[in-house]
Structure 1
Amino acid sequence: MAKTLYISDLDGTLLLPEACLSPFTAETIRRLVGEGMLFSYATARSFNTAGKVTSALGKIHLPVIVYNGEAIADAADGTILDAVYFTPEETSFLRTVFGRAGLRPMVYSRAAADTASERVAYLPENPSRGLQDYLASRKGDRRLCAVTPETLYGGHAFYVTAIEDDAKRCEAPYREVLQDGRFNALLQKDVYSDTYYFEVMPKAASKANAVQRLASLYGCGRIVCFGDGDNDRSMFRIADESYAVANAAESLKAEATAVIGSNREDGVAKRLLELAKRSNEHINFAPHVSDV
């Protein structure tokens, strides 16, 4: 029987609405991983913020997928194992599009392509309310860096996002980015607030691509995933089984194998228990290939 890779989104899916794990979910996944289940997560969060809300899971043997698939990171120390970046031409295009729309984005970058050290650059003048709230919630985060317009897109950039109260401000630049064809872009309401995130990543950065890469590394012939939002759609489309939590977007439910209990009801953990009962897999935690 082919080994199965189990992948869950975090916010809105595995996490409670309070952005934490329920004791039942944490204990269940710890036990299943200890018994050999190949489980990991794919999130829009950074490695740092994902680690804070998943610490109750204990040791995850597999790498984790962060920034909506932009990077695969070692679960223990955040070392970047695989990542994609904007080209200089793409960065120049985004600078023009965001600037013309009057948006003041945050630009995520790394000093070198093979390092886990990150910079989250932002323009301190006239920030949107959404950006102000974001910065206030992350006081002490050493990645944050107030910069000038000339240095906003410095380093190896991989993720650009504007946080706005009014989605309409982002609609025109969102369409322009999509029509260009070189990017993955999302415009969606935040799970925890009334703000909207306009996010842009390199074309190769998707949860689907990262999940397939991870499955290949560990010799998994099957993929089972869980999600709630538009950024989970790509991995739903490549999975053998995909489960939308009851609180998921209706459009995602339409593409799911089935709809399970909500994030308040430990829907993912309970379905994992059901899936484990039907599986007789023997798991070897060593990667399928030697060079991650």
Structure 2
Amino acid sequence: MQLYISDLDGTLLDRNAEITEYTKTALNRLIAKGMNFTVATARTYSSAGRILAGLNLQLPIVLMNGVLIYHPVRHEYEVINTLADADAEKIISLCGEHGLSPFMYLMNGSVMSTAYSKLTNQAMKDFLDERVQKYGKAFIHTDNLTETEGDVIYFCFLDDYEKLAPMQEILSGMPSLKTAFYHDIYGDEWYLEVFSAEASKESGVRYLREKYGFEKITAFGDNLNDLPMFAAADERIAVSNAAEELIKTSHRVIGANTEDGVAKYLEELYNG
């Protein structure tokens, strides 16, 4: 059995962060014919679920760079990777020392919430506004992130490279943590995402391979946070708008995200 797995932003989605009708129709036709297809994204299900509405996915989705794995048919999380309390407290303490303000994601049972203390730049404000207005996501404002309820699973920083690089250097040296540090494809800022060392797009892909018995996995991506997914795949395919580092590690380069590149490649493959 073969699995095709695609990143969302910059890969499967167009410049408006949406799935075009062409891609949706093509993928649904191929899934109905028996193609095994799913996605792996840095997004939560709050936004990814709405983006994917109308796409008849039958397999689990890798969310938040592998922190969560969610089954869209059974409507349940198969995997939840939490951060140790000591690690969460350390990250919050470092935020104060470096003058940074993150979005902090928590789980209460199977319910996710997102907390923040300050919106320190326009990119953070746009990030919050888009998710509230476009996806109906709820955010919790708090003066003290340590007083929130639930298990911490993820931190997301959105700021200038120079401000985030020192934090990235410290956190990447902690063996219990994993980070993703990459340029925002929709703006000039950088993302720094922090989560459990047990989680990654790589571990998410390996989980799907082992649980569902896939013998070959083909991955599609565009950005540096897709490198772990590429590491776990047998075939690595980059869209033409991908970061140069990702293109260098790929077996093939296909059409851009703005050209329905993934869908057209899969149609050609199945119809050829």
Could you say whether these structures have the same fold, taking a TM-score greater than 0.5 normalized by the shorter chain as the test? yes
1:96 aligns with 2:112: no
* 1:64 positional shift: 0.9
Partners of 2:19 and 2:137 in 1: CA distance: 25
> Which structure 1 segments of 5+ residues have no match?
279-292
Partners of 1:275 and 1:48 in 2: CA distance: 32
**Letter of the aligned partner of 1:237 in structure 2?**
A
CA contact under 8 A between 1:72 and 1:81: conserved in structure 2? yes
- Superimposed CA distance per residue, residues 56-115 of structure 1 (whole angstroms, 9 cap, x where no aligned partner): 32x211111110111110114642111211011211221222221110111001013xx1
* 1:214 positional shift: 1.3
CA contact under 8 A between 1:105 and 1:163: conserved in structure 2? yes
Q: Which residue of 1 aligns with 2:48?
A: 50
TM-score (norm 2): 0.94
CA contact under 8 A between 1:7 and 1:226: conserved in structure 2? yes
Q: Which residue of 2 aligns with 1:87?
A: 84
* 1:181 positional shift: 2.5
Q: Which residue of 2 aligns with 1:15?
A: 13
Alignment of 1:245-264 (within 5 A): 245-264=239-258
Q: Which residue of 2 aligns with 1:111?
A: 108
1:216 aligns with 2:210: yes
Q: Which residue of 2 aligns with 1:283?
A: none
CA contact under 8 A between 1:118 and 1:143: conserved in structure 2? no
> Which structure 2 segments of 5+ residues have no match?
none
Cα distance, 1:101–1:64 mapped onto 2, change above 3 Å: same
- Please identify, of 10-19 and 146-155, the stretch whose mean Cα deviation from structure 2 is larger: 146-155
For these two proteins, the number of residue pairs brought into alignment is 270
Partners of 1:103 and 1:78 in 2: CA distance: 35
- Equivalent position SS for 1:136: helix
Cα distance, 1:78–1:231 mapped onto 2, change above 3 Å: farther
Identity of counterpart residues, as a percentage? 33
Q: Which residue of 1 aligns with 2:171?
A: 177
Cα distance, 1:193–1:76 mapped onto 2, change above 3 Å: farther
CA contact under 8 A between 1:72 and 1:210: conserved in structure 2? yes
CA contact under 8 A between 2:241 and 2:256: conserved in structure 1? yes
- Please identify, of 257-266 and 239-248, the stretch whose mean Cα deviation from structure 2 is larger: 257-266
1:138 aligns with 2:131: yes
- Superimposed CA distance per residue, residues 118-142 of structure 1 (whole angstroms, 9 cap, x where no aligned partner): 1100114x63222222222233645
**Letter of the aligned partner of 1:62 in structure 2?**
L
Q: Which residue of 2 aligns with 1:70?
A: 67
Q: Which residue of 2 aligns with 1:225?
A: 219
Cα distance, 1:34–1:167 mapped onto 2, change above 3 Å: same
CA contact under 8 A between 2:107 and 2:152: conserved in structure 1? yes
* 1:143 positional shift: 3.2
TM-score (norm 1): 0.87
- Equivalent position SS for 2:43: coil
- Superimposed CA distance per residue, residues 190-238 of structure 1 (whole angstroms, 9 cap, x where no aligned partner): 1222222111111111111111111222211111110001111011112
